[in-house]
Amino acid sequence: MKQLVLTIILVLSMLMTSMYADDNKYAQATFPKKTYDFGYIKANDGVVTCEFEFINTGTAPLVIYSADPTCGCTVPDYPKKPIKPDEKGIITINFNPAGYEGGFLKTVKVKTNGREKSTTLSLEGSVIPK
């Protein structure tokens, strides 16, 4: 009987330890910079590109599920493979200024499996018309 109780206690403590260990694993995309300012750009110069670097500061692999822009003039490209803890990644965003005049502010919402489920990246600047 004593051995049975000890075995049950041992099994329960191992289960609780493994559950606790899994709860402590998380991913987190940390962006040092979340806004990019293009300054003045000419509409007839075509598409402009910027990059947002991030690092997975978590303890589990980071998966980017999507990067959703506010409009079709903004096209993001992001890593499709998981980013390991302490590894860096880059999200590249192309902006087409055709048809724009004056100041603009565009955003891209990045959705991940991280503790912070989404992050908003911003592009801003001013378009000089043709």
Q: Give the model confidence (pLDDT) of 61-117 as tens digits.
A: 999 999 999 999 999 999 999 999 999 999 999 999 998 999 999 999 999 999 999
pLDDT at 129 over 60: yes
Residues 6+ apart with CB under 8 A from 64: 29, 78, 79, 80, 83, 89, 91, 110, 111, 112
pLDDT digits (tens, 9 = 90+) for 5-44: 556 665 656 655 554 445 589 999 999 999 999 999 999 9
Apex 85 CA angle, 120 and 93, nearest 5: 30
| 8 Å CB contact between 127 and 39 | no
Q: What is the pTM of this model?
A: 0.81
Report how far apart the first and last C-alpha atoms of the chain are (Å, whole number). 88
Three-state secondary structure call for residue 10: helix
- Of 80, 69, 70, the closest CA to residue 112 belongs to 80
Apex 93 CA angle, 43 and 113, nearest 5: 155
Residue 23 pLDDT = 59
Residue 17 pLDDT = 53
Residue 24 pLDDT = 82
Secondary structure (DSSP) of 37-90? EEEEEEGGG--EEEEEEEEE-SSS-B-EEEEEESSTTEEEE---SPBPTT-EEE
